[in-house]
Chain A
Amino acid sequence: ETGVTQSPTHLIKTRGQQVTLRCSSQSGHNTVSWYQQALGQGPQFIFQYYREEENGRGNFPPRFSGLQFPNYSSELNVNALELDDSALYLCASSERRRGDNSPLHFGNGTRLTVT
């Protein structure tokens, strides 16, 4: 079973730039969620994708956007980067089923530093 993989592992960008982070979900999983984890904090929900559509969004501005592809892989795009966007970005996949309580399976994350 292939786990969740994210790329790149580290990234340095300048304020105002745009960034794209990528995620391949675990085999058999049809739902992808993105979380932002600031240093010393718990992960914060950005949004979730199911069947290639956004299916829930946390308290993040529209400059955070995403895509899910037919093979369930996903991208997170952030425009007009700000210093406070520096964080570990975690992708998590799960299998969505009726009445299911399946847990999230996380990748190792992308460490984004904005200077």
Chain B
Amino acid sequence: GQQVMQIPQYQHVQEGEDFTTYCNSSTTLSNIQWYKQRPGGHPVFLIQLVKSGEVKKQKRLTFQFGEAKKNSSLHITATQTTDVGTYFCAGNQNSNYQLIWGAGTKLIIKP
């Protein structure tokens, strides 16, 4: 069936280290969205990518959409404690307007 694979499930980093999460779809995506969910919170929309090979930046966050529009990544440079949470990718496949969600990657800052 339609699915978006997201890895890793967890990533433990020291504060100041970088963090990356990856999403891969079995079929071409028309667009991909990224959300952040803080512990005990709700998903918050970060960004949407639509174009093949698109790269967008938000301060320390860099989002990429693959050339084939089947994969995407989120990279955080120099993590801070405020970055803690679970990052989800979610995409639309072709003309289907239902979002297909990745399983999420939980960012944990080591004490």
Same complex origin of A and B: no
A contact residues vs B (CB 8 Å cutoff): none
Residues of B within 8 A of A (CB): none
